[in-house]
Amino acid sequence: MYSISPEILAGLPHVKGSYYMPFHPDHLDTLDDIDEYVNAMGYEEFKAQIINQASRGPVITAFYYGRPAAVFGCGILWHGVAEAWSLLTQQAKRYPIATLKGANSFLDICWVTFNLHRLQISVKTSDAVALRFARALKFVEEGIMEKYSPDQQDYTLLRRL
């Protein structure tokens, strides 16, 4: 299991009332605004998928006043290459600058810790806000993955080198 020390988590950017903790599957039980994912595959399959992803690299949960607001993960694919992912609630989206800074700091920690030379992310092509978020994190588009998701939605593959 991968983990990030509490000292590093305490140093991540935050707004009043926010803090970060290592991810635990129970965080998903109180995470708001995940209906899109649950509807595509069902809650148990969704939870199993996230737990599987969490086994491949570090994952943290951002809390806002005691409730999970976002989950950030970085799955190691092989030496030097990883895939980032996130689950963002409406609460996290209300604080885009803090969420962006937290995500960027987490990705920087992963970049250095795992000596990465490539970090990639897959974003639903029809989600303009998520694509802007990925671009703000300095990801560059590589191409479209047609019918990529369980519900056959197109996704855009982006990368940071």
Count of domains for the chain:
1
- The verdict on residue 25 lying in a domain is yes
Domain assignment of residue 143, yes or no: no
The answer, as to whether pTM is greater than 0.85, is yes
**Is residue 133 a part of any domain in this protein?**
no
Q: What is the Cα–Cα distance from 18 to 4, expressed in whole angstroms?
A: 17
| Within-domain flag for 78 | yes
User: Is 14 among the domain residues?
Assistant: yes
* CATH number of the domain enclosing 93: 3.40.630.30
In a domain, 144, yes or no: no
Q: What is the pLDDT of residues 40-99, one digit of tens each?
A: 778 888 889 899 999 999 999 999 999 999 999 999 999 999 999 999 998 888 888 889
Which three-class secondary structure string do you get for 82-150?
A: EEEEEEECHHHHCCHHHHHHHHHHHHHHHHHHCCCCEEEEEEECCCHHHHHHHHHCCCEEEEEECCCCC
